[in-house]
A = this chain, B = another copy of it.
Amino acid sequence: MHHAIARILKYCGALASVFAIAVCALEGAKSAAQGGKQSQPHAGASANSSDASPIYGVRIPAGYRDWKLIAVKSLKVGDKADQLRAQLGNDIAVKAFKEGTMPFPDGSIIAALHWTRVLSDSDSAVIAAQFPGAQSFVIGSAVNVQFMVKDSKKYAATGGWGFADFTKGKPGDQKLHEACFPCHGPAKDHDFVFTHYAPTP
């Protein structure tokens, strides 16, 4: 079922493919090379390295979990997917978001962290006692993480961006990564980036 979904979604744009990546990452992980999580800085590694994404050769940037917050999202597809998502950026990316710099400067990296979204019965029960139907959702478990890395020369053929999708530290397969750039096409006027910077409360 997942493979069929993956093929259908591969040619859909925008978030369809983000979702495809999220779902397909589960499939992609099966084909991922052996190897544990590599917390190495983004470098021009061979795309054949087991710890780098196919096509683009992007590795998991060290310390990305501590990057600054860009925005938060949630995604639900019937009973197939229910996720909480956060986009984080390195300093170059976040500075560009804040200043409205377009296109993003070389060196910008955006990380999209995805988790399952689960209903918190204890929290919800407290609210629901007064507000029937109240629902408080929290993070369940990690699903996958995706990266967009700006290098206008190296990735000139794909709008200046290199893409990567990792599940449990392993990159997805070639087919998965072929879907990235086409699906970001609808965001061309925003330098192929869907995410917008969340306002400061």
Complex Cα distance A137/B75, Å? 6
A131, B80: Cβ atoms under 8 Å?
yes
Total interface residues in chain A, CB < 8 Å = 63
Q: CB-CB < 8 A to A138: which residues of B?
A: 71, 73, 196
A201 with B115: CB separation less than 8 A: yes
> A142 at the A/B interface (Cβ < 8 Å)?
yes
Which B residues are in CB contact (< 8 Å) with A99?
none
Which chain B residues lie closer than 8 Å to A167 at the CB level?
201
Cα separation A5 to B129 with both chains bound (whole Å): 12
Q: Which residues of B contact A114 (CB under 8 A)?
A: 201
* 21 residue pairs A–B, Cβ–Cβ below 8 Å: A8-B130, A16-B126, A16-B131, A19-B131, A65-B69, A69-B86, A72-B72, A72-B85, A72-B86, A73-B84, A73-B137, A73-B138, A74-B74, A76-B135, A77-B131, A78-B131, A126-B186, A139-B198, A142-B198, A142-B200, A167-B201
